[in-house]
Structure 1
Amino acid sequence: MTLPRLLLPMSLALLTACAQQSRQTVELDAESECPKRLAPGQNLTLTLTSNPTTGYRWQVKDPASSVLRSLGPEVYSSPEESGLVGVAGTSTWRFQASAPGDGNLVLVYQQPWAPEVQPVQTFECAIRVR
């Protein structure tokens, strides 16, 4: 096979791999560095430690809806191996970058029935979709 005939398939394979890599899901947690950059259509998974048995819940205050689209409700999971009631687990949210621009993803950890009380924790991350 000649060199030009070999380069074309290899170039297409490389371009395909690059395009797929930019679509990989971005993982985000309390220790993540922000701002986060996403490509349009790219997924974002946010995971935060949570313990609803204490009465506290994470609430999305600003979903950065100008640049993110929610892919469903919060999913809570507790560590099954602990065997203890009341052990903290994780809350997970999934989003997809929907439009180019800048937004701010903000969640607060507080008791839902006491919105006038300051949150125990706040998670805030600037999101840039380009």
Structure 2
Amino acid sequence: MSRTVPGITVLIICLILATLPTAVCAKPDTTGQQKVITEAENGNTIYLKEGQTFILKLNENPSTGYSWQLSLDDGLNLLWDKYHPWESSEENGILSIGVGGFHVWKIKAMNNGQVTATYKRPWEPETGREKTFTLNVMVA
């Protein structure tokens, strides 16, 4: 009996540590640094304070006609967006055909919401096979 009590105690401690609530582990960022979200975070959830901003940075190649079609839920406000060609794609201020870059959006989170984007040619109908990006935003 004396050997099982320490074993059970250790087991209970391990179970408690393994089942900590997500809310404890996923606190809003309090470092004051701006989050930069990339395609690597596709499908993830970020946690922010009300009014905090973040940067969304996705690879894009508009010289081929493809661009991200961004959609924001209410409570997520677009502050600005801009396309940046890779340094090697600019020669004398002229964009080289076929060489991409990245698109950057600055978004302010006022409420929970979702960012969705579809990478497509705007004039073509959606087929369901397009590349997509989704980000859930939780505001504390």
TM-score by length of 1: 0.72
Match of 1:71 in 2: 79
Match of 1:38 in 2: 48
The CA distance in 1 between the partners of 2:89 and 2:67, in whole Å, is 21
Paired AA for residue 63 in structure 2: T
Percent same amino acid at aligned positions?
Answer: 30
The CA distance in 2 between the partners of 1:108 and 1:88, in whole Å, is 17
Match of 1:98 in 2: 110
The answer for unaligned runs of 5 or more in structure 2 is 1-28
Paired AA for residue 63 in structure 1: L
Contact 1:110 1:118 in 2 (8 A): no
Aligned pairs for 1:1-130 within 5 A: 21-32=30-41, 34-60=44-70, 62-66=71-75, 68-72=76-80, 74-82=81-89, 85=96, 86-99=98-111, 102-118=112-128, 120-130=130-140
RMSD of equivalent CA atoms: 2.1
Contact 2:55 2:104 in 1 (8 A): yes
The CA distance in 1 between the partners of 2:87 and 2:57, in whole Å, is 17
CA separation of 1:95 and 1:83: change in aligned 2, threshold 3 A? closer
Q: How many residues align?
A: 106
Q: Give the greater-gyration-radius structure (CA).
A: 2
Report deviation, 1:65. Answer: 2.1
Report deviation, 1:81. Answer: 3.2
